[in-house]
Amino acid sequence: MSENFLPFVRPSIGEDTIAGVADVLRSGWITSGPQVAAFEKELGEYVGRPMLTYCHATGALEESLRALGVGPGDEVIVPDMTFAATLNVVFRVGATPVLVDVDFATRNLDAAGVEAAITERTRAVMPVHYAGLAVDMDPLNELAAARGLRIVEDAAHAIGTTYKGRRIGSFGDVVSFSFHANKNLTTIEGGAVTTTDEEVFERLRQLRFHGQVKLDDGSYDVVMPANKYNMSDVSARIGRDQLAALDARNARRRELAHRYFEVLDGLEGVALPAKGDEGHAWHMFAVCIDYPHYGTDRKAVREAMQERGIGTGVHYPALHQLTVCREAGARAEQFPNADRIGRQTLTLPLFPDMQDSDVERVAEALKAVLHG
């Protein structure tokens, strides 16, 4: 691949972090230990309440549902526009996902759509802060409180996102973050979860490591069947440096996103995402393109961009477009906004080490491809 190839995402990992990981490897303690403890403490201070780390975000999300007692016979409302993990964890605990359409511009759920989908079997709602833009949580939290529902926020895109001046994770019921390699903060693979419910927090701690409870004599008891999702010290060491740089990197993401708006404004047949406010963490910049308007399709556009040395992504196919949901009876006409997003979405490069000139290069290439 050419040296000037611009991927749609690239993690920012410096030499200090690489040296720090080497120190952990030399220490002889590489699984959960002092680095994990320090990372959890620093995350908690950053977000504003205690955090539990997991070796991957899907496990944190799944165990959040399990810790709330969600299971067979229950329904969980999820947005039709999200990554498949949001759907899969509902299936994994034996519950039924109920898909709800999203707003076209924000790609997020709203309280009105959620309320229309509530049945006597609804147990929880899983809003997703798509691309780092916060869901309008106040009306959703009010609705959940009035209807006796739990909320598990899928904040995979939203570390550092703020809503009305409050960091996502500092309020609300249960909030789960992702630290995957393409996220604003990475531990290579990893995640974290927080909640104000002390019983749920303790259950999550037990579910993270075999359902164990430590006993006074140094042995342990197992109080529930559970999996193993603990984070390693190697990952935590990376995460600590990532957290220290997070706000500055998110600020740079906002600058790059604003430049995209400037250079792509008015491009016919291309719908830009909602701008949001300064609380938007800009995990990614995804546009929707009317491919037939240009006599082309997404595959051809992606290939042409690749030939010009620019990588793109697809985030995401709508859930109802997936076989597992189609076989369950989901139909496109039920989700007009998500269906359009799923068919038209194209993720453009966005990561903190990009230059403004990279954004301009992407815009020029996209215009050339579409008009070519």
Options 41, 164, 183, 275, the catalytic residue:
183
- The full DSSP string for 165-228 is TEETTSSSSEEEEE--TTSSS--SS-EEEEES-HHHHHHHHHHHBTTEEE-TTS-EEE-S---B
The verdict on whether omega for the bond into residue 46 sits within 30 degrees of 0, i.e. cis, is no
Q: Are 5 and 311 in contact (CB under 8 A)?
A: yes
Is 41 an active-site residue? no
- The full DSSP string for 214-278 is E-TTS-EEE-S---B-PPPHHHHHHHHHHHHHHHHHHHHHHHHHHHHHHHHTT-TTEEPPP---T
DSSP H stretches of helix in 265-335: 298-307, 323-326
Q: Are 193 and 202 in contact (CB under 8 A)?
A: no
Catalytic residue ranges: 183
